[in-house]
Amino acid sequence: MKQKNLIDQQNQEFRWSSNKAIFKMQKYFKFDQFQTTLKKELLGGLTTFLALVYILSVNSDILSQSQSINDPNVTMNEFGIFFATAITSIVATLLMGLWANVPIVMSPGMGMNTLFTFTLAQQAKLGFEGAMIAVLLASILFFIITVTPMRAMILQAIPKSLSIIFAVSIAFFIAYVGFEQMGWFKMDANTQLPIASLATFKENYLFIILGMATLGLMLFFHYRKVNGGVALSIVIGFIICIIFANTLPKSQISKISSANFRNGFNFHYDFEGFIWNIKSGMQSFANPKVWSNPGLYVCVLVVMLMSFFDDSAALNTLNMQRNKGLAVHHEVNRPTMLIDAGSGIMNGILGVSSMSVMVESSAGIHQGAKTGVAALVNVVLFGVAIVLFPVFATIPTVVTGAACVFIGILMVLHIAEIEWHKPQFAIPAFLAIIFSVTTFTIVNGVAIAILSYAFIMLIIKKAKQVHILIWPLCLVLLAYFVALAFIQ
């Protein structure tokens, strides 16, 4: 009864626009159900884009280090990667906005891109062509699992407390990514993992100060309840970086060199390179070097499982944030899961790493975005980025890194909801956080949390309370760790 009264009250409070076009949009995207406004959606969409725009340049940089299976001196075309990243992001996010009506952005994400280059292409010796095939096959398998009731059943089998643990581990992970982008950590040349060392402050003090100042601005605006504080902080931080990058000697601006305009924009459009990436991958279907490599089949399993658990954990976390303040709890809908799984097929064909649910979408949700309109804002901005990429590419990672840390701070507040007095949740929470951060992969934290949960339930003689699907899931996760060991 209370819930019904709250729903009626919210519906009465909602104001419909007198403009016919806006009224139709409000109806289609269910603004009344989500108690949102066009201003919140636009601002949330812009905030999300500013927080994740770095992926266009970072993804290109990482994937362009992938060597060919036929010639180690040949690598993927960098513009082709950038263009494919933008196109795949546009298509998947457009579907998220129009069909699923969620404020979630899809793009080839961090973690999956390093797996593509340094594990699949290099360590497993598949080359970028074999890595593309692995992504394609894994995405098809992921989509098949999602089309059947299997994915929904697995997600329903996971206790709510474990879902909260996943959210907290993602918070630590995204903050860790942010601190690395600011310059606090060094990226290990062999493992491609960020290594924490305060000694780097001496080398990167300028970048760290700029990043921390931007983070401080975000916190200031947040607690002063300034609308659009994250986006405003990113713009201010960007302007300050431009000033330093164009006045200091080049030897002192390594992490903000993208904002250095003294030599103009070092970028050109190479659509032939985009086509070459696609052709190289598709022609390798006939290459026996790919199919005779046993690492291919292990990689397909690893990529599929990483996509499944990474994205499922991210979707649950973002959905929890989206439901805050709403009278009715909205579950992750079926279109969202189908788009999430199916869009990776496109990535394997066009020549980029697997599609990811961008946890930076949390920044927009925090600003009030709750519908697909925020996703459509990102679609437009990704399109603009293709034309104005030289401008968007100049936003230094020290600024976007601050946004990642800020998101992590907000998300980690869920840590209070973990049932720390129960060992079946306290121990998995601890392990999930440690493994997500130290292995630089969310899925490892998710996997160890599920495995340890089942193990502790056995120890404390509560195995009968564990959902029956958790046990076969544990076997799959054990197989995942074994498979991962063979390709690393």
Strand duo 106-108 + 185-187: pairing:
unpaired
Q: State which H helix or E strand residue 284 sits in.
A: none
Dist. CA 277–CA 81, nearest whole Å: 8
Q: What is the pLDDT of residue 360?
A: 85
User: Phi then psi for 305, rounded to 5 degrees?
Assistant: -65, -40
Query: Do 486 and 298 contact (CB within 8 A), yes or no?
Result: yes
Dist. CA 116–CA 125, nearest whole Å: 11
Query: Do 105 and 48 contact (CB within 8 A), yes or no?
Result: yes
281 residue type, one letter: G
Nearest to 176 by CA among 445, 414, 488: 445
Q: What is the pLDDT of residue 53?
A: 81
The two three-digit tokens of residue 393, written as one number: 């590419």
Beta-carbon contacts of 419 under 8 Å, excluding residues fewer than 6 positions away, are 161, 425, 426
Dist. CA 40–CA 228, nearest whole Å: 9
Global pTM?
A: 0.77
Nearest to 127 by CA among 72, 68, 170: 68
Nearest to 402 by CA among 171, 178, 172, 231: 178
* Start-to-end CA span in the chain (Å): 56
Any idea where the domains of the chain sit in the sequence? 36-260+272-487
Nearest to 70 by CA among 352, 286, 348, 272: 286
pLDDT in tens, the chain (488 residues): 555 555 555 555 678 888 888 999 999 999 999 999 999 999 999 989 988 887 887 788 778 889 999 988 899 998 899 999 999 999 999 999 999 999 999 999 877 887 788 778 887 889 999 999 999 999 999 999 999 988 888 878 888 888 888 888 878 887 887 888 888 877 666 655 666 666 577 778 888 899 999 999 999 988 888 777 877 888 899 889 888 888 887 777 776 766 777 666 666 778 899 999 999 999 999 999 999 888 788 788 888 888 888 888 889 889 988 998 888 888 889 999 999 999 999 999 999 999 999 988 988 998 899 999 999 999 999 999 888 877 766 778 788 788 888 878 887 888 888 999 999 999 999 999 999 888 877 778 888 999 999 999 999 999 999 999 999 989 988 988 887 777 66
Dist. CA 257–CA 253, nearest whole Å: 5
Nearest to 185 by CA among 115, 255, 253, 239: 255
> How many other C-beta atoms are found inside a 10 Å radius of the C-beta of residue 391?
12
Nearest to 120 by CA among 302, 270, 247: 302
Q: What is the pLDDT of residue 220?
A: 94
